[in-house]
Amino acid sequence: MIRALVVAGVSSGVGKTTVTLGLLEAFRRRGLRVQAFKVGPDFIDPGFHHQITGRPSYNLDGWMCPRERVVETVARQAAQADLALIEGMMGCFDGLDAKSEEGSTAQVAKWLGAPVVLVVDGGAMARSAGAVVLGFERFDPELDVAAVIFNRVGGEVHCRWLRESVEAACRAIPLGFVPARPSLSLPERHLGLVTAAEGALGPALLDELVSVVEESVDLDRLLALARSGLAPRREARRASPVRDHGRRPRAAIRIGVARDEAFQFYYPANLDLLRKAGAELVLWSPLRDSDLPDVAGLYLGGGYPEVYARRLASNATLRQAIGAFAASGGPIYAECGGLMYLAAALEDEAGELHSMVGLLPTTVRMKPKRLTLGYTEVEITRETPLAPAGTVVRGHQFHASRIEPVPAWVPRAYAVRTASGGVPGDEGYLIGNALLSYVHLHFESNPRIAAYLVASCRRHALGRRRRR
């Protein structure tokens, strides 16, 4: 069976990420193969997980993806690991709304049959800690709150009070007392932490973090608690396409994926599904490359183009190459940061305007105090390179920018509904064979879209060959 632990928090800001990163590195240094996961629609924390483990960290989301796909993802990705470590999001029971567990860390932990390690900010409490932990145990008796790690703890007396409070009233075992230390904080910006790709978790910080965790957490007892209700699942071996009805295997279709400091927000499952559908993913950098690679389609994910707007604008030859690719009918799928880059102009936080690719005839402006975030369901209303009309897929939005009105002549391909029941809106801008949206789609919510995108790129490649 897969050994798993879910690191959950009492609330946001208690130090789940700090504790998780310290545990990942501590177990890795013990020689364990650790597979990390992240509950919810998050791109930044999985980047840190990947940096430490050397393995992509997969998102587990009970609203965007059905139970069977969440469970299957853990069973498959953790098949070759010694431990699955799942970092929760927000508070343990926080998710879609205040009435259900949908989308929450608690939901995922129960689906997996995995114990919860509850992270509590102990900095301003003593005996009350027992009441807090007891409340989490009793709120949902089906959830196994097995251990507690206190963060931002004072001296030995404070540790003793916290331990005694929990031991007197709770089933959960207090196994960690991480001291308050400002130097352990990761740098932040307007949409959260500075990313791993930008060097936020340097060697010195990681060494200090793992040293503190090794000294303050009982790692042996914690590891002994790890379990789940899952058996490892490995990918079934495919039958050879050559022997399958005598057909030769299809050549892989090359799709260019924008990947650098400015564009780095992709669900690993999306990329896996594209590969499974027959894509060869070719990484390219809008910051550094002067030309596009030889590909049949482009995928531009989210990131921080506003932080690198000056450098993106200065790379005029690449912007022209993207425009030429779009003009040739090449399929392009761009979400959030990709949309911002493909617009005519981008205004950064300082109010400076920068020329972008110019595919979408509008300007995007940063408005950090007006954050848009939340789950989103999309119904595709017309033929696109991603899917045909009538397709329904789920995702989320998380951005601090605003787009100026897009001309009415630009077709809209999305009917967007927020999970909170908001009024549907039109989005998903279709420029030729390019689809641009603020929504980060999770392909596992409707895996057929990955195959459809690959097929769109294949048709473009075949047409290009015929024209030659």
Residue 428 CA to residue 380 CA, distance in Å, equals 8
Residue 403: which H helix or E strand, with range? strand 401-403
Nearest to 382 by CA among 392, 372, 390, 373: 390
457 in catalytic set: no
Task: Measure CA 269 to chain center.
Answer: 10
For tokens 């500075």, the residue is: 194
Cα→Cα distances 391→396, 432, 455, Å: 16, 19, 16
Longest CA pairwise span in the chain (Å):
78
Cα dihedral 47, 21, 62, 94, rounded to 10, equals -120
The tokens describing 288, both together, are 């550094």
DSSP letter at 290 equals S
Q: Which residues pair with 334 in a beta bridge?
A: 300, 436
On whether the CB atoms of residues 334 and 300 are closer than 8 A, the answer is yes
On whether the CB atoms of residues 370 and 355 are closer than 8 A, the answer is no
The alpha carbon dihedral of 225, 43, 22, 57 has a sign of positive
Residue 310: which H helix or E strand, with range? helix 309-314
DSSP letter at 182 equals G
Nearest to 301 by CA among 256, 338, 339: 338
Angle at 304 between CA 263 and CA 300, to 5 degrees: 30
Task: Name the catalytic one among 92, 170, 336, 457.
Answer: 336
Nearest to 36 by CA among 89, 107, 78, 85: 85
* E-only strand ranges, 272-356: 279-284, 297-300, 302-303, 332-335, 343-347, 353-355
- For residue 17, give the amino acid letter: T
Active site residues: 336
